[in-house]
Amino acid sequence: MRDIDQKLSGIRFDRVSVTYGGSTSKTGNNTTGTLALDSLDLTVEPGEVMALLGPSGSGKTTALRAVAGFVRPTSGRVFLGERDVTDLPPHRRGIGMVVQSYALFPHLRVEDNVAFGMRAQKVPRTEIPTRVAEALELTGMAAYAKRYPRELSGGQQQRVAIARALAVRPGVLLLDEPLSALDATLRSGMLAELARLHRELPDVSILYVTHDQVEALTLADRIAVMDQARLQDVGTPQDLYRRPRTEFTASFVGNANLLPVQVGSRDKDTVSFGSTELRVPERRDAAAGSTATLCVRPHLVGLGEGPNSLTGEVREVQWRGSTHRLYVDVDGHRVKADVRELREPPALGERVTVHFAPEDAVLLSAGVGEDNG
């Protein structure tokens, strides 16, 4: 599995747009279709795992299909390494792809499923058994080579699908919601396996499409956040979680309290939430007196008095094993606090005080994003 073609490692989207359903009339006029991807500019470096994260209809799967060659960009170009593959059919792009439905051939044994892509690419017959064995060993499925897909669990079938994709020795591996059909336990195990595969195949670029925040945060080197057919944000998981730049990122990557505030007229490290003054890290581009949104992660909100204290009424208490989540109504706004499991959690309707440290807050541009629970 070491013979990766370096020239085909890495992906570049050069202002790629995709429109579905448009057509050209006899007079040459274009009819407007559905814009599924809007001017995507994005680079996946050689050996990098890039997660495309976003809700349904955000454009993430369309972007992956444009790389695979299953959809033709309306405009823009797609590159694998330095090679423009926009006009190439899928089988000539040299990529591996894994989809959520496994797409194994039920009448073929595991070893023949893995060999299928190599035969389609006309790999010399003498090489195929060795490469099948390597791919199955890499994915922990060597002992199942003679079985049929119906004799495997869902997680094992997905490993076979990954082995088949790796057997063609791609420079780029595309993963389209590969774990969505698995239960929580299998999903956790497969995430660990994918992370191990990435360590063992450091030259392979991986584009990973998911709507699951945990998968993206766990596996990706960088995350590209998609919404409404456009790229909204891109950065490392740590940057997007700890210092989101947009409200959509704050609400979609992890969980967030998003509170409407007004920037102080003198000090930009002071904001007003209703009648309460709060201290925040200074944001130099925030105009004095302007409206903004304050982002604080629930696990950084403590119970009791402290810096940046807010008092309100408990509306809901959820036990989550090691923690309790408190939903506190503060002047008509819901504040979420994840605190260590309480022996005696507050009662519904009880007035409590919560707090957060100034350095744990992030000041975003105006407009409160959608609450994500």
pTM of the model: 0.85
CB 311 within 8 A of CB 330: yes
| Whole-angstrom distance, CA of residue 179 vs CA of residue 4 | 25
What local confidence, expressed as pLDDT, does residue 366 receive?
A: 55
Q: State the chain's mean pLDDT as an integer.
A: 89
Q: In the prediction, which pLDDT does 372 show?
A: 53
Residue with tokens 């799967």: 61
Reduce the DSSP state of residue 184 to 3 states and report it.
Answer: helix
Q: Round to whole Å and give the CA distance between 148 and 137.
A: 17
Residue spans of the chain under pLDDT 70:
1-8, 22-31, 267-268, 284, 365-373
% pLDDT > 70, the chain: 92
DSSP of 96-155: EEEETT----TTS-HHHHHHHHHHHTT--TTTHHHHHHHHHHHTT-GGGTT--GGGS-HH
pLDDT digit string (tens) for 32-86? 789 999 999 999 999 999 999 999 999 999 999 999 999 999 999 999 998 999 9
- CA dist 258 and 251 (Å) reads 8
- Would you state the pLDDT for residue 174? 95
Report the chain's C-alpha Rg in angstroms.
25
Angle, CA 262 vertex, CA 258 and CA 264 arms, to 5°: 130
Query: What pLDDT sits at residue 373?
Result: 58
Cα 49 to Cα 279: distance, rounded to the nearest angstrom: 37
pLDDT tens-place string over residues 258-290: 999 998 877 668 899 999 999 998 776 777 778
Helix and strand totals (H; E) in the chain: 8, 22
Instruction: Check: CB of residue 63 under 8 Å from CB of residue 13.
Output: yes
